[in-house]
Amino acid sequence: MASSPEAIKKSIRIYFLIFGILCVFTVLTVAVATIPALDVGGHGFDIYDMWLGLAIATVKASLVGAIFMHLNSEKRLIYLFFGIAIVFAVALFALVGLAFIDPIFYENFF
């Protein structure tokens, strides 16, 4: 992480650049959801819109994490904490997947 005055002065430019990129992505995510010409997949909301929307959000979140939260150059310990949290959060999502293999929904279950 930059801590010398010169490095910080340099990174200030990056902060504003990231601000611009984030705004552009925000406009983009609204545009693909509202402007019919830019709609991916069939028109209206569908699974392609979902993945595109989530992908844009993930890129935005990564930029905030990497630049604003200085995750691009952090100590190992913090990566460890954050990594474990992400693993658990993903595990929570994976639990939802269990619903798909729940045999109670099989037609011949009973």
Partner 1 sequence: MEVPYIVEPRKDTGLFNAKIGIWLFLASEVMLFGGLFSAYVFLRIGADFPWPERTLPIVPGLINTFVLIASSVAVVMAWACLKLRKKQAFNLWMAFTIVCAGIFMGLKAIEYNAKFHHNAARLADFTIIEGHVEPGENILAFDVHGFNFSARRWHGPFFEDIVEQLSADDRNFELTFLAPDAAVKDSLEVEDVIVSGLELHANNPLATFGDGSLAISKLKFLTSDGFVDYDQVKGVEPGSLDPSKFDFKLTKKTLKALRRDLREARGVNNKVNAADLREQWKTAKAQNPNKQNFELAGDISVRSDKVAPFLRVTTGSINGFLVDKNGNYALPDNDLRARVAFKPFRPLFENNQLKDDTRVLGSLVENKSAMEFHVDGLDFRHLAMRAEEIRKDPMEVIEASWVLNEGDKYGYMRSIWEAHKNWLYGYTDDSGKEVEGHVAKLKAKGDVPTPRELYRVEKQDILKYFRGGYPVVAAVPKVDAPQLADTGGPAADKLPQPSDAELELTFLEKFGVVDNIPVLGSMIPDRHHHYPHLTVPREKVLHESTFTPAWNNYYALYFTLTGLHGLHVVGGALVLGYFWLCGGRMYRENPEWLANRVEVGGLFWHFVDLVWIFLFPILYLM
Q: By the criterion CB under 8 A, which residues form the site for partner 1?
A: 3, 5, 8-9, 11-12, 15-16, 18-19, 22-23, 26, 29-30, 33-34, 42-45, 49-50, 53-54, 56-57, 60-61, 64-65, 68-69, 75-78, 81-82, 84-86, 88-90, 92-93, 95-96, 99
Angle, vertex CA 70, rays to CA 50 and CA 2, nearest 5 = 150
Least CB distance to partner 1 at residue 68 (A):
5
- Kind and range of the H or E run holding 28: helix 5-34
CA distances from 52 to 31, 35, 104 (A): 12, 14, 32
- Minimum CB distance to partner 1 smaller for 105 or for 110: 105
Least CB distance to partner 1 at residue 107 (A):
15
Amino acid found at 88: F
Least CB distance to partner 1 at residue 108 (A):
20
Task: Give residues with Cβ within 8 angstroms of 39, minimum separation 6.
Answer: 32, 33, 49
Least CB distance to partner 1 at residue 90 (A):
8
